[in-house]
Amino acid sequence: MKYSILSASVLAAVMMSAGAMAADDEAVLHINGKVLGTTCQIEDGKSQATITMPDVSVDAFNTLNAGQELKEYSSSAVGNIKFKCDPNVTPRISFAVDGFNGNGSDITRNTAGENGVGFKVHMNNSTEAISPQKSITLVKQADGIYTLDFSAYYARTSGTVTSGEVDSSITMQVFSD
């Protein structure tokens, strides 16, 4: 009995000292967010767009560094995505990261295989490519109707560019405060 009381006392002391030391090894990560109401609706038949790119030679990428787009080869999808919002709100567009070539990238992920090429996509004639890191605030329209135009350019990701298909899909979401 004496040994079990002594063992229990030693065990309790060890556990208490471990708990005291654990305070220096712990940190707290607080995460907060906001769920927004749905004030915008994609119009029927206007939820998808396809951009068909012209064929391009591997040699066209010789002068490009990783991250650069090939300005000479582009194509567009005009007026294919359309939605209506409450006229009293200013909508924003965000893009899901899984459609892009890694965290921090504005080049789309090539789902057809890795060949050193993806696309940079521009919206409404912007000179800046879209990316999942930032949402785009649209110019408020009095009638609440928004039409999105997209253009795409081939872009070099990294490594050696090889021949093959380039295929990407990007998911976007419309929201407002």
Cα 129 to Cα 121: distance, rounded to the nearest angstrom: 5
For residues 126 and 75, the answer to whether their CB atoms sit within 8 Å is no
Which runs of consecutive H residues, i.e. helices, occur in the chain? 2-22
At position 74, the amino acid (one-letter code) is S
| Domains (range + CATH), the chain | 40-176 (2.60.40.1090)
At position 137, the amino acid (one-letter code) is T
Query: Which pLDDT score is estimated for 33?
Result: 80
Query: Which pLDDT score is estimated for 8?
Result: 43
- 100 phi and psi angles, rounded to 5 deg: -115, 165
Cα 167 to Cα 147: distance, rounded to the nearest angstrom: 24
Q: Which residues in the chain show pLDDT less than 50?
A: 1-15, 17, 19
Cα 124 to Cα 134: distance, rounded to the nearest angstrom: 16
DSSP string, 22-87: HGGG---------PPP--EEEPTT-S----PPPP--GGGGTTPPTT-EEEEEEEEEEEEEEEEE-T
Query: Which pLDDT score is estimated for 159?
Result: 81
Tokens of 146: 């928004």
Query: Which pLDDT score is estimated for 23?
Result: 64
pTM of the predicted structure, to 2 decimals? 0.77
